[in-house]
């Protein structure tokens, strides 16, 4: 008998994040009891694998569409620029138009998603936060 994981625990949340579409559909089928109605060779495992592969393709397309995946790594010039910008370890800097243009250019080179500075402070801040996160990951 397998040990039940407390649903409030981090271990349970992490295990749920790793589940893909096919795994979730299989869980629903099992929870509703439909798995007992199906014959042994119904193709459930093949469907599960196919849906998991589809889930991967959907995530890749989604990430590509919304720029949440890295296409390129930072080059040395961009990294040095970010070191100068984030030298205090904070994003609490004044995002001048020149800084915004440079950050949007770096964002485009790294993510492959073209965004243009539009004067919106919160949009620029999101780009800066994304670059800061990448910068901190490279520091580790």
At 120-133, the pLDDT tens digits run 888 888 888 888 88
Helix, strand, coil abundance in the chain, percent, nearest 5:
65, 0, 35
Tokens of 37: 């109605």
Q: Is 95 inside a domain boundary?
A: yes
Domain residues for 128? 76-139
Tokens 């495992």 correspond to: 45
* Predicted pLDDT at 62: 60
Same domain, 62 and 81: no
Query: Residue 63 has what pLDDT?
Result: 59
Structure token digits, residue 58? 């959907």
One domain, residues 132 and 92: yes
75: its two tokens: 């080059």
Sign of the torsion angle spanned by Cα atoms 50, 55, 57, 58:
positive
Positions of the chain with pLDDT under 50:
1
Q: For the chain, how many structural domains are there in total?
A: 2
Give the residue from 84, 91, 123, 89 showing the smallest Cα distance to 107.
Answer: 123
CA torsion sign for 109, 111, 115, 116 is: negative
Residue 4 included in any domain: no
């Amino acid at each position: 008998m397998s040990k039940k994981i407390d649903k409030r625990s981090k271990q349970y949340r992490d295990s749920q994040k790793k589940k893909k579409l096919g795994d979730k559909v299989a869980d629903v089928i099992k929870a509703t009891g439909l798995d007992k109605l199906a014959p042994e060779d119904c193709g459930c495992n093949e469907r599960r694998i196919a849906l998991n592969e589809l889930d991967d393709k959907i995530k890749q397309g989604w990430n590509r569409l919304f720029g949440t995946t890295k296409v390129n790594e930072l080059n040395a010039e961009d990294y040095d620029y970010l070191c100068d910008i984030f030298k205090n370890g904070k994003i609490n800097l004044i995002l001048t138009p020149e800084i915004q243009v440079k950050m949007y250019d770096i964002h485009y080179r790294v993510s492959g998603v073209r965004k243009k500075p539009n004067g919106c402070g919160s949009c620029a801040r999101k780009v800066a936060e994304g670059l800061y996160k990448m910068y901190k990951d490279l520091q580790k």
